[in-house]
Amino acid sequence: MIKYILLVFFIMTGCSATAQFTVNIQWQSVNPGYSGDSIYYDADRKLTWSDFKGRPVAKSPAAAITESGFGYRMSMKSYNNRTNINITVFCYFNKNQSWVKKGMKTDYALLHEQHHFDITYINTCLFIQKLSAAKLTRANFNTLVERIHDECFAALNTMQDDYDGETSNGRIEAAQMRWNKKIDAQLAPLTTN
């Protein structure tokens, strides 16, 4: 009888401890820490050529380069047998690593570069969706969050490469128009309030 009561106690304690583990995922569209060289994604704020502050690479076949990415910050608080994980996700454009060659500042080229930033945001949202669907536990959250990040970052790089490859860095207008429609269609449900 005592063994049975202890078993029930351990099962209830285990369930209680599991129930006390919470994960909060937050999107951060403002600066998550001061960095004057970054712009954080905001669907209402489009890039301008004045955002491209880096030094152009003369040998590059590209007219301009957008350096963008996404990241996360994770913090954990434990108290009274409760664990709360906060994951803050952000998407950024690096001004000092992004550049445009002299004489190439056209609206057409700027839209191509804006779509690089939009592709980054699309994959940032994929990261958030996968985090939200993941079965995070005390035992796996560190490795699982990192694995999901790496998978989504690989998907981001593939999409960026496909975009530049199929459009020849924006030089093939018909392909650029197809990608414009594709990106706009993927963005629409992500940016409507």
Over the stretch 27-50, which tens digit does the pLDDT of each residue have? 766 555 546 899 999 999 999 999
Q: What's the pTM?
A: 0.84
* SS3 state of residue 102: coil
Q: What residues contact residue 64 under an 8 Å CB cut-off, 6+ apart?
A: 52, 98, 99, 100, 101, 104, 109, 110, 112, 113
Taking only the tens place, the pLDDT of each residue in 136-156 is 888 898 899 999 999 999 999
pLDDT at residue 90, rounded to an integer: 93
pLDDT at residue 99, rounded to an integer: 98
Q: How far apart are CA 94 and CA 146, in angstroms?
A: 22
Taking only the tens place, the pLDDT of each residue in 51-108 is 999 999 999 989 999 999 999 998 888 888 888 888 999 999 999 999 999 999 999 9
Q: Average pLDDT of the chain?
A: 86
Burial of 113 by CB count in 10 Å (0-12 exposed, 13-18 middle, 19+ buried)?
buried
pLDDT at residue 34, rounded to an integer: 47
Give the number of other CB atoms < 10 A from CB of residue 71: 15
